[in-house]
Amino acid sequence: MSYLYLAMAAFGLSVYFLARTVFSDEERRSAGKALGNYRDTASDAGNVILKYSRPLFSRYLVPLVERFKIDDYRKIFKRKLASAGLTDALTPDELFSFKLFLILLFPVLLTFIRYAWEVDVPALLFPAAMVLGYFYPDKVWLPSVIKARQEDIRRAMPFVVDLLALSTEAGLDFMGAIGKVAEKAKPSPLIFEFETLLKDIKVGSSRAEAMRNMAWRIDMQEISSFVAVLVSADEMGASIGKILRQQSEQIRHERFIRAEKAGAQASQKILLPMIFFIIPAIFIVIFAPFYLGTQGSGVGP
């Protein structure tokens, strides 16, 4: 019994120090936001696990990871974070530290579930939880964020390109049109990328280099093709307004093709549920009365 009390006391102390670390970090974040020199990057990342575990791995694991010679991983993570729009929210070293932290966190959660609720947790789940913790950030979470962001950009492209075409046809140069669209259009990941593009040009990047950097960050075939056409037109001195109008028509055509493809896939995906659930229900509705009627007529005198 004394060992049980000792374990409970140790667990209580660990929870106390964990809560103290988290709340002290929250207070520092709130003070920084009040002074205007802190970005609420954890909430921008949109991940609850990351938000509440960040004070721990940022303080204890990131200084260790910064010493690792993992330049190849850093390049891969940098590209993924840029595509997810989380460059300001996470660094590659923080992402790798998050992976290492989850290797420890998931088995600890399983242990807590096992003893707190007296659930029989198979021993095989512990190494599986460690593997899941390592691969979850960059194999599960980040791809879902990237996919959602790219879908938002894909939906916003026709409208934004139309605005660019109208602005250039009204007499603005291309950079002026981008600035006007970024100022007036509804906020979206594509508008955010345009704002970043303008900032890159202000700090000394050429227009072609800034647009190529935008295509690298977004990592979409549609944006890469769009940027390649604009860079070529800019270098050859062609009319940007005409190019933008052609690109707008092409983007809408490709969007229509994707919608048709999605509709065809939906009809295929509904086939199995219809076979296993809808058709049996129809047969029951049609033939059940006949069956019950024959059963009733056979029972009579």
Looking at per-residue pLDDT, the higher value among 46 and 301 belongs to: 46
222 and 154 Cβ atoms separated by less than 8 Å = yes
Residue 82 is which amino acid? A
Give me the pLDDT at residue 37, please: 42
The answer on pLDDT for 101 being more than 90 is yes
Give me the pLDDT at residue 119, please: 83
Ordered by start, the domain boundaries in the chain are 13-121, 151-263
SS3 264: helix
Give me the pLDDT at residue 297, please: 57
Measured between alpha carbons, how far is residue 169 from residues 15, 158, 176, 177, 244 in Å? 62, 16, 12, 10, 10
Residue 116 is which amino acid? A
Least confident of 18-32, 57-71, 78-92: 18-32
Least confident of 86-95, 108-117, 194-203: 108-117
Give me the pLDDT at residue 217, please: 95
How many angstroms separate the CA atoms of 110 and 128, rounded?
Answer: 11
Backbone dihedral angles phi then psi of residue 157, each to the nearest 5 degrees: -60, -50
Give me the pLDDT at residue 76, please: 95
Residue 259: exposed, middle, or buried by beta-carbon count in 10 A (0-12, 13-18, 19+)? exposed
The tokens 């508008």 sit on which residue? 191
The answer on pLDDT for 42 being more than 50 is no
Mean pLDDT of 225-246: 87
The answer on pLDDT for 136 being more than 70 is yes
Q: Tell me the CATH number of domain 151-263, given options 2.130.10, 2.60.40, 1.20.81, 3.40.50.
A: 1.20.81
Looking at per-residue pLDDT, the higher value among 174 and 141 belongs to: 141
Q: Nearest Cα to 77, choosing from 51, 63, 95, 61?
A: 95
Share of the chain above pLDDT 70, in %: 83
Mean pLDDT of 126-130: 93
Q: Which residues of 286-298 are buried (b: 16+ CB within 10 A; e: fewer)?
A: eeeeeeeeeeeee
C-alpha dihedral, 181 to 228 to 78 to 191, nearest 10°? 10
The answer on pLDDT for 191 being more than 90 is yes
Give me the pLDDT at residue 18, please: 52
Q: What is the CA radius of gyration of the chain?
A: 28
Round the average pLDDT of the chain to a whole number and report it.
Answer: 83
Share of the chain above pLDDT 90, in %: 45
Mean pLDDT of 290-296: 77
Cβ atoms within 10 Å of 192's Cβ, excluding its own: 14
> Contacts from 119-122 at CB under 8 Å and sequence distance 24+?
none
Residue 283: exposed, middle, or buried by beta-carbon count in 10 A (0-12, 13-18, 19+)? exposed
152 and 188 Cβ atoms separated by less than 8 Å = yes
Confidence of residue 52 (pLDDT cuts 50, 70, 90): confident
The answer on pLDDT for 31 being more than 60 is no
- Supply the pTM of this predicted model: 0.77
Looking at per-residue pLDDT, the higher value among 227 and 267 belongs to: 227
User: And the tokens for 203?
Assistant: 């700090």
Cβ atoms within 10 Å of 121's Cβ, excluding its own: 15
User: And the tokens for 239?
Assistant: 């009319």
Give me the pLDDT at residue 120, please: 86
Give me the pLDDT at residue 255, please: 84
How many angstroms separate the CA atoms of 79 and 135, rounded?
Answer: 17
Confidence of residue 290 (pLDDT cuts 50, 70, 90): confident
Q: Nearest Cα to 251, choosing from 190, 185, 207, 201?
A: 190
How many angstroms separate the CA atoms of 130 and 101, rounded?
Answer: 10
Give me the pLDDT at residue 6, please: 54
How many angstroms separate the CA atoms of 223 and 238, rounded?
Answer: 19
Mean pLDDT of 235-250: 85
